[in-house]
Amino acid sequence: MTATEEFALSIELSTREAAPLSEVALSDIGIKERADLQRWVEAYSEMIGPDLLLITTEFDRWELRQQKVADRLDVLCLDSDGRLLVAELKRGEAVDTTELQALKYAAYCSTLTTAEVVEEYSRYQNVSHEDAREAVIGHAPALQDGEPGSVRIRLLAGRFGPAVTSVVLWLGELGLDIGCVELRARRLSETHAVLTTRQILPPPEARIT
């Protein structure tokens, strides 16, 4: 076991017997990116990070200089400071262009206004404009009389190679709030598994504010 690997035990509380839990690739247990990971993120935004309101998923209504752009981000959230967060999901290893893809989406999202964020929340959650505005402003009071702040980025994947992490670290040093969240699965039995998420970059104690 290397220094970066984790060892886990399953403990039977009544007998205090312990047995190791084997780590498995998400693909090996049939986990899909959109049908599973994205659905779980929709239900539990804590998988990405704390204090997030889900705005929409599969967002593809981009229009730059009056021209439709055929791109689609996975998940768009809003934090309580009024900053949008773009999340890109990969069930396996993040390919070398994952961070570039997320940067493009973040650039697109940097043009979104508070009114457009409310509109997307209303459409996605299927609620009235008034209810959507109440939810958005209630979560991020700074948007009551202002516009969203700088966009944050989180990459979620089973593994991250140095080609991705080196870029993420460099962008973080330049002041961009970008990070990597590692997804790990362990098999409990033939019918049960446990999925954990852990932010590896930047370390939680070094969170950009």
What does the domain layout of the chain look like in residue ranges?
Answer: 9-206
Give SS3 for 96: coil
C-alpha to C-alpha distance for 32 and 93, rounded to whole angstroms: 13
Q: Which residues of 57-79 are buried (b: 16+ CB within 10 A; e: fewer)?
A: bebeebeeeeeeeeeebbbbbbb
Per-residue pLDDT of 135-173, as tens digits, reads 999 999 999 999 999 999 999 999 999 999 999 999 999
Per-residue pLDDT band at 2 (split at 50, 70, 90): very low
> Is pLDDT of 121 > 70?
yes
DSSP-derived secondary structure letter, 82: S
Q: What is the pLDDT of residue 133?
A: 98
pTM of the model: 0.90
For residue 124, with 0-12 CB atoms within 10 Å meaning exposed, 13-18 middle and 19 or more buried, which class applies?
Answer: middle
Rounded to an integer, the average pLDDT of 108-114 is 94
Which architecture characterizes domain 9-206 according to CATH? 3-Layer(aba) Sandwich (3.40)
Rounded to an integer, the average pLDDT of 3-25 is 87
Query: Kind of pairing, strands 62-64 and 52-59?
Result: unpaired
Query: Kind of pairing, strands 23-24 and 52-59?
Result: unpaired
Answer whether 58's CB lies under 8 Å from 87's CB.
no
- Rg of the chain taking only CA atoms, in angstroms: 19
Per-residue pLDDT of 26-82, as tens digits, reads 999 999 999 999 999 999 999 999 999 999 999 887 766 666 777 889 999 999 999
